[in-house]
Amino acid sequence: MFSLFSSHYLRHNTRHEITELYISIAIKNFAFSMIAIFEPLYLYNLYNSISIVFLYYAAVYTLYFVLLPLGGKAAAKYGFEHCIFYSIPFAILYFLSLSQIPNYSWMIFATIMLVVIHRILFWPSYHTDFAHYSASGFKGREMSTMTFISTVVTIVGPIIGGLILTKYGFETLFIVVSIASLISIIPLFATKEKFEPHSFSCRKAFIRILKPYGRYKKRNLIAYSAFSEETVFLIAWPIFIFLILKEFYLIGILMGISALLIAIMNLYFGKLSDKYDAEKRKRLLASSTWVYSIFCFLRPFVGSWFSILFVDFFSKISKMGIVYPIFTFIYSGGGRRKDFLEYVMFFELSLSLGRIIIIWTVFFISLYLSGPIFYFTIFTLSGLWALLFRSAKFE
């Protein structure tokens, strides 16, 4: 599969480190796709309260923002692939602790800490590792190849997860996901990581967010924070769909079909992003932002499996026109800047700041609104929030 992409799509030889990352992330995404869409449903069924679900995620994202620079410090000291490796045991412990919440209510606090540790170790290292080893001039295509392969192998993830959930329950699903997650770390060390430890300042990471300067532009801080709109959909969309369809396996099948439909489009947008200059990327981003916002506004009006699939598919397609121009720009500096980890942290902290704002806002909305008016309000809010993507400034 990888040689096919290199010769017919990438048209260059991918580095071994990138191939290892492709395989590792594909396995990890397959594991996580079995549970991702059902996790908010698990919490919702457990507490029977949308407010508590959003409060839980508000606590997770707030703690993530506070501790994120420590993840950057660990990556600078131990290496990117090593931190990705270290993150997986915490993910496994997170899934296992989630399964025990019905038996031990205090485990909810352990899950918050475990998932935060997993994420602060994984995300800065993942972005930096990819940017460092991906080929110059092919960032968009290598990113889309990563997304394509991950999408293909995760088409069946939600379907399998839904079937396991329907027949055996959440506890069995958590165990299956944990085993698959453990397997994902094996490919990372097929090649020895070449890494030189360097310093990283947590204090300066926060200063760049509070007082943007130089290439840490305030406009990009605003644009990167717009990615937080997807947080609302990751939490509320599965619950909203469940209230319509009532069946776990139907949700899994719909998400699997949606993933299948968008897989090929990933390759198109990645290649397009590499061909475009900064001005064309900006125009693609602007037009895609408007289309994406429109489909955000349409979400509360779905009422059948076909309308759910239609809106989900086209919102994800339009989101590609946002993701690839921005991430091609972010990753393009990875090969030539020794301090690229600092820019990754700028992106992650900007995104996290946006998450804190929008997730706490939705939590307080949930205290006063419920039912259709609640979902209409938060999906509309997310659509308006997505318009901030147009603030992005490409150099």
Q: At how many degrees (to 10) do helices 305-331 and 340-368 cross?
A: 150
**Tell me, what's the pLDDT at 165?**
83
Q: Name the nearest CA neighbour of 316 among 331, 334, 299.
A: 299
Residues 362-376 have pLDDT tens digits of: 999 999 999 999 999
User: Residue 374 falls within a domain, yes or no?
Assistant: yes
Residue 277 has a pLDDT of 66
Q: Which pair of structure tokens corresponds to residue 210?
A: 């509070």
Helices 157-168, 248-275: crossing angle, 10 deg rounding: 160
The H-assigned helical ranges of 216-339 are 218-225, 229-245, 248-275, 278-298, 305-331
Cα(241)–Cα(157) distance, integer angstroms? 18
pLDDT in tens, 155-197: 778 788 888 888 888 888 888 888 888 888 777 666 666 667 7
CB 187 within 8 A of CB 20: yes
pLDDT of residue 349: 93
- Nearest-5° angle of CA 233, CA 287, CA 221? 60
Domain-located, residue 199: no
When pLDDT is cut at 50, 70 and 90, the band that residue 135 belongs to is: very low
* The CA-based dihedral angle spanning residues 103, 160, 130, 91, taken in that order and rounded to the nearest 10 degrees: 10
Among the listed residues 182, 256, 135, the one whose alpha carbon sits nearest the alpha carbon of residue 24: 182
Is the pLDDT at 395 greater than 70? The verdict is no
- What separation, in Å, do the N-terminal and C-terminal C-alpha atoms of the chain show? 34
> Is 363 contained in some domain?
yes
User: Distance (Å, rounded) from C-alpha 228 to C-alpha 245?
Assistant: 26
The 3-state DSSP composition of the chain as helix, strand, coil percent (nearest 5) reads 80, 0, 20
Q: Does 26 reside within a domain?
A: yes
Using CA atoms, how far residue 309 sits from 33, 63, 313, 316, in Å, is: 17, 34, 6, 11
Is 336 domain-assigned? yes
| Position 98 pLDDT exceeds 50 | yes
What is the spatial distance between Cα 52 and Cα 58, in angstroms, rounded to a whole number? 10
Q: Is residue 192 a part of any domain in this protein?
A: no
Query: Which pLDDT does position 18 carry in this prediction?
Result: 64
Window from 14-18, 236-240, 319-323, 387-391 with minimum mean pLDDT: 14-18
For the chain, the average pLDDT equals 82
CATH of the domain at 332: 1.20.1250.20
Q: What is the mean pLDDT of residues 338-345?
A: 78
Q: Does 325 have pLDDT greater than 90?
A: no
Under 8 Å between Cβ of 322 and 31: no
Total number of domains constituting the chain: 1
Residue 196 resides in a domain:
no
pLDDT at 333: 55
114-128, 288-302, 341-355, range with greatest mean pLDDT: 288-302
pLDDT at 351 over 50: yes
**Widest CA span of the chain, in angstroms?**
56
Residue found by looking up tokens 């949606």 in the block:
258
Angle formed at CA 275 by CA 272 and CA 279, multiple of 5 degrees: 95
- Secondary element (H or E) of residue 92: helix 80-99
**Residue 292: predicted pLDDT:** 95
**Least confidently predicted of 7-21, 159-173, 182-196, 299-313:** 7-21
Q: Give the domain extent around 20.
A: 2-187+204-391
pLDDT surpassing 80 at residue 65: yes
Q: Which has the higher per-residue pLDDT, 68 or 27?
A: 68
Establish if 127 belongs to a structural domain.
Answer: yes
Positive or negative CA dihedral for 187, 40, 320, 225?
Answer: negative
